[in-house]
Structure 1
Amino acid sequence: MAQHTLEMITETVGYFPGSVNIGFVQGKTGAILIDSGLDTQTAKKIKKGLDAIAQPLSAIVQTHAHADHFGGNAYLLSCWPAAQVYAPPLEEAIIRYPLLEPIYLGMGAQPLDELRNKFLLAEASRVDHLLPTEGRVEIDETCFEVIPLPGHSWNQVGLVVDRICFSADSYLGEETLKKHKLPFLVDAHETLLSLVKLLESNYRGYLPGHGPYTTSPEAVLTQNIHCHRRLYGMIEEILSEERTLEQALALVCERLQISIENATSYVLYRTALMGYFIGLLKEERIRYRFAANQWLWGKHDGLDR
């Protein structure tokens, strides 16, 4: 399906489908987009879609600061300079200074040239307004409910308008979940809490960042929960013997039949695994210590899991 073809859900709410879904809300003076996609190429398709319905861009509301969700900002803002950009705290800093993404993925060091690609390093964008991580906000005379959905990113939010929940990357569509095997996240514990929050909600419809729109999300949310819990169990088993993060990553990838062949994939999988470590650590299922100049992780002593 062409990404510039707008799919309407209600009279005023819809989305541009694609590898990254981009939300659309009809504001008082123009279109409000929820995220902007990966790059200029995507943004040009979105502009074509907005031009087709004679709608200027009023605002872009960011759910989180990964390059595939704000990479279209720069082009769209060059076309509509008066459009306003909203983003959650901390996420907004990365949107304004996108080099921070390959920096944190590269353990804080100067990023390798190989990490300076459009998937990790988007073009910088201004952010005009801090979005609350919870509560209600009015944008172009349209009321949004903001719900915290951390885990995939630190201050990721979902946005609800007309009882349609734009749920960002809090869960992945079934096909995307199968493809990635080790989903990217920064905190598996928070990810699971966000999934339970969505499972207990009762909105009219749900649109993830990657996957199809649905009015019945229970099955896909449950699949995501089972995926994370299954990975928890695998990681605990691997850590029955103390290992470094890198040693554990090699074994996890072997189990999942993942072949890492470039720096981009490596830093994404390494960060994801650390996010699972953080979740297991919060739940007191693993521990760490330092020995022989190594940071060793192991299954928590005395826990019958």
Structure 2
Amino acid sequence: MSTHTPVMVTERVGYFPGHVNIGLVVGNTGAILIDSGLDTQTAKKIKKGLDAITQPLTAIVQTHAHADHFGGNAYLLDCWPEAKVYAPPLEEAVIRNPILEPIYLNLGAEPLDDLRNKFLLAQPSRVDDLLPLEGDVEIDGITLTILSLPGHSWQQAGIVCDDICFAADSYLGEELLAKHKLPYLVDAGKTLDSLDRLLASSYSGYLPGHGVFATAVHDVLEKNKEWHLRIYDTIEEILQVEHTLEEALAQLCERVGIAVETVSSYVLFRSAFMGYLIGLHREGRIGYRLSQNRWLWHASVRDQVAPPLDEER
């Protein structure tokens, strides 16, 4: 449930909880937001929260370019036109040109009308400065440390301030893993690398883009790793028999209990599935070939049988 009032975890660092958590850092002259949420409705609540603590908006730092993380920019920047927007380089292109999100989900073709909804197509936003992929950046007198956490998106950034890590969508709570079943990502291998990076860290607190703030996240990070690895194993088992991407995706959805009911859901699952194939292919566990005008995928070792994904987990 979203709220107008920020939850403060240090004297100057907090967050607005909601379906998408929005980070807050109080700078020298105003508030720095970490992402802005889905839409104008969310942004209006954030404005009320900032007004309540008498902090004007001085900056928005984008973790990545998915519509639910920058959809509030347009309203907030209209309210505070002097605020600066920061984003990683590749993510910046989508934030300025949000039509790119439904375009890439539609395999590069002109997007269907069904893909032009607020969950996939935010209002465009300017970006004033590019974030480094790694290292420190000073915004409104506050030093923020940028962590490279790719996988869910190409150049997803984690943001650290006062030893609190805003981890974006690098991991999900266990309940959300069970809900989504096939988490969205663009590269499963890099997603696993980012989880390992967080597992090696020891910050005082962690806030995911979707989930709850916690001071200890080892267990949930391990559960995320296990979830991705089990999807790997299940895909590899499915590909003991050669399939097209669509055939293999349909089998995976059936195994984990996914019933795709909208075009938006389908293209998200398809992109995520391709992200898992990329990770498996990089490890040499699967291969592909073209035959009879079809792109076919197969397990590299055909006689091994991996344990199936337990859909009740």
| Cα distance in 1 between the residues matched to 2:33 and 2:175 | 25
State the one-letter code of the partner of 2:150.
Answer: P
Q: Is 1:74–1:123's contact at 8 Å kept on the other side of the alignment?
A: yes
Query: Does structure 1 residue 87 correspond to structure 2 residue 87?
Result: yes
Q: Is 1:137–1:143's contact at 8 Å kept on the other side of the alignment?
A: yes
> Which residue does 2:246 correspond to in 1?
246
Give how far 1:302 is off. 7.2
For 1:155, what is the secondary structure of its paired residue? coil
Q: Is 2:240–2:302's contact at 8 Å kept on the other side of the alignment?
A: no
Q: Is 2:163–2:203's contact at 8 Å kept on the other side of the alignment?
A: yes
For 2:144, what is the secondary structure of its paired residue? strand
Structure 1 unaligned segments of length 5 or more: list them. none
For 1:133, what is the secondary structure of its paired residue? coil
Identity, in percent, stands at 67
> Which residue does 2:67 correspond to in 1?
67
Cα deviations across residues 118-150 of structure 1 (Å, max 9, x unaligned)?
A: 000000000000001101100011001101000
> Which residue does 1:299 correspond to in 2?
299
For 1:20, what is the secondary structure of its paired residue? coil
Root-mean-square deviation over aligned CA pairs: 1.0
> Which residue does 2:99 correspond to in 1?
99
Give how far 1:303 is off. 8.6
Q: Is 1:102–1:111's contact at 8 Å kept on the other side of the alignment?
A: yes
**Which structure 1 residue ranges, 4+ long, deviate > 2 Å from structure 2?**
301-305
How many residues get paired?
305
| Cα distance in 2 between the residues matched to 1:71 and 1:52 | 22
| Cα distance in 2 between the residues matched to 1:219 and 1:302 | 33
> Which residue does 2:154 correspond to in 1?
154
State the one-letter code of the partner of 2:161.
Answer: V
| Cα distance in 2 between the residues matched to 1:27 and 1:179 | 36
Q: Is 2:36–2:69's contact at 8 Å kept on the other side of the alignment?
A: yes
| Cα distance in 1 between the residues matched to 2:5 and 2:234 | 41
| Cα distance in 2 between the residues matched to 1:289 and 1:60 | 45
Structure 2 unaligned segments of length 5 or more: list them. 307-313
Q: Is 1:22–1:35's contact at 8 Å kept on the other side of the alignment?
A: yes
Q: Is 1:15–1:23's contact at 8 Å kept on the other side of the alignment?
A: yes
Q: Is 1:285–1:303's contact at 8 Å kept on the other side of the alignment?
A: no
Give how far 1:3 is off. 2.4
| Cα distance in 2 between the residues matched to 1:89 and 1:205 | 27
Q: Is 1:59–1:83's contact at 8 Å kept on the other side of the alignment?
A: yes
> Which residue does 1:126 correspond to in 2?
126
For 1:60, what is the secondary structure of its paired residue? strand
Give how far 1:212 is off. 0.2
> Which residue does 1:286 correspond to in 2?
286
Q: Is 1:134–1:146's contact at 8 Å kept on the other side of the alignment?
A: yes
TM-score normalized by the length of structure 2: 0.96
